[in-house]
Amino acid sequence: IGWQFFFVTEGEYVEITSITKEQSGEYECISSNDVSAPDVRMLQVTVNYPPFISKARSTRTAVGQRGVLQCEASAVPVAAFEWYKEDRKLFNGLNGVKIENKGNHSMLIFFNVSEEDYGNYTCVAMNKMGNTNASIILYGKRCPCLEPTGPGTINDVSRASLSQPSSLCLLVTLIVLYLLKF
Ligand SMILES: *[C@@H]1O[C@H](CO)[C@@H](O)[C@H](O)[C@H]1NC(C)=O
Ligand SMILES: *[C@@H]1O[C@H](CO)[C@@H](O)[C@H](O)[C@H]1NC(C)=O
Ligand SMILES: *[C@@H]1O[C@H](CO)[C@@H](O)[C@H](O)[C@H]1NC(C)=O
Ligand SMILES: *[C@@H]1O[C@H](CO)[C@@H](O)[C@H](O)[C@H]1NC(C)=O
C-alpha cells in the first residue's frame, strides 16, 4: 500500500485547510486504546479541481491530407471537451471532422483537409468545477511550386517565350521576300 501524505495527528479529525490537488491520495487512520490492538483504516481523499489545458499545439497540414488538432487538459473529475471554429460549435461526424476523446485528451480529426478548414479553432475543457479554453490554429502547408518568383525570373521567362515566335516570324518573312523575288 502506498500513500502520498502522512500526517501524524492525534484526535478524531484531521483538518486540511486550503487543500491542494497534490494532497489527494490515501490517508491512514489508526485508532487504539490500551485494551485492544490498533484498528487501521485507509481512506481515499479526492481533490476536485477545474481543468487546465496543458497541451494545445497548432499544426500545419496540406490540402487533401488527414489533419489532427490535439488538446490535453488536467482535471478532476476528468474534463469533457468541446471544439469550436470561431463561434461555431463542431460536432462529431459532421462537416468532415471526427472528435475523439480519450481520458485527458481530445483530438479533432479532419478526414481530408480543404482550404476552408484552415483557421482558428478553440478547444474547451470543462468539468463541474469550471471550464477553460485554448486556441489552436490549423495552418496550410504552402506548396513550394507556388512560391512567388523574383521579378527577374518572370522577365527572363517572358522574354524567352516572346523571342521564339518573333524569330520564327522573321524567318517566314525572309522566305516570303526571297520567294517574291522570283
Ligand atoms: C479530398 O478532397 C478533395 C476535394 O474535395 C478530393 O478531390 C480528394 O479526392 C479527397 N481525397 C480523399 C483521400 O478523400
Ligand atoms: C494525461 O494522461 C496521461 C496518461 O494517463 C498522463 O501520463 C498525463 O500526465 C496526463 N496529463 C495531464 C495533463 O494530466
Ligand atoms: C484565435 O482566436 C483567439 C480567440 O478569439 C484569439 O485570442 C487569438 O488571437 C486568435 N489567434 C490568431 C492567430 O488569430
Ligand atoms: C474562452 O475563454 C474566454 C475567457 O474565459 C471566454 O471569454 C470565451 O467565451 C471562451 N470561449 C469559448 C468558445 O468558450
Could you tell me the distance, in angstroms and rounded to a whole number, from the CA of residue 33 to the centre of ligand 1?
Answer: 76
Take atom 11 of ligand 3 and give the residue whose Cα is closest.
120
How much is the pTM?
0.72
Question: How many Å lie between the centroid of ligand 2 and the Cα of residue 77?
Answer: 13
Question: Measuring from atom 2 of ligand 2, which residue has the nearest CA?
Answer: 104
> In order of start, what are the domains of the chain with their CATH numbers?
1-47 (no CATH), 50-141 (2.60.40.10), 143-182 (no CATH)
3-state secondary structure (DSSP) of residue 17 = coil
pLDDT given at position 29: 87
User: Is residue 175 classed as helix, strand or coil in its secondary structure?
Assistant: helix
pLDDT of 180 strictly over 80: no
C-alpha cell at 52: 487546465
Ligand in nearest proximity to the CA of 62: 1
For residue 31, the SS3 value is strand
**Beta carbons within 8 Å of 112's beta carbon, 6+ residues apart:** 64, 65, 66, 96
Give the integer Cα–Cα distance in Å for 62 and 142. 7
Say whether pLDDT at 39 is over 60. yes
Would you say how long the chain is, in residues?
182
Residue 157 or 140, more confident: 140
CA-104 nearest atom, ligand 2: 1
- Give residues (CB < 6 A) around ligand 2: 54, 72, 74, 103-104
- Dist. CA 41 → ligand 4 center (Å): 44
Among 2-6, 37-41, 174-178, the range scoring the smallest mean pLDDT is 2-6
127-146 per-residue burial string, b: 16 or more CB within 10 A, e: under 16: beeebebbebebeeeeeeee
Q: Positive or negative CA dihedral for 90, 91, 92, 94?
A: negative
Q: What is the pLDDT of residue 179?
A: 72
Angle at 71 between CA 144 and CA 98, to 5 degrees: 75
Of the pLDDT bands very low, low, confident and very high (cuts 50, 70, 90), residue 34 is confident
Tell me which ligand sits closest to the C-alpha of residue 118.
3
**Nearest Cα to 71, choosing from 88, 90, 87?**
90
Q: What are phi and psi of 108, to 5 degrees?
A: -105, 110
Ligand found nearest the CA of 74: 2
Residues 6+ apart with CB under 8 A from 63: 113, 114, 115, 140, 141
How many angstroms does the Cα of residue 105 sit away from the middle of ligand 2? Answer: 8
How confident is the model over 75-82, as a mean pLDDT?
A: 96
Q: Give the distance (Å) from ligand 2 centre to CA of residue 36.
A: 44
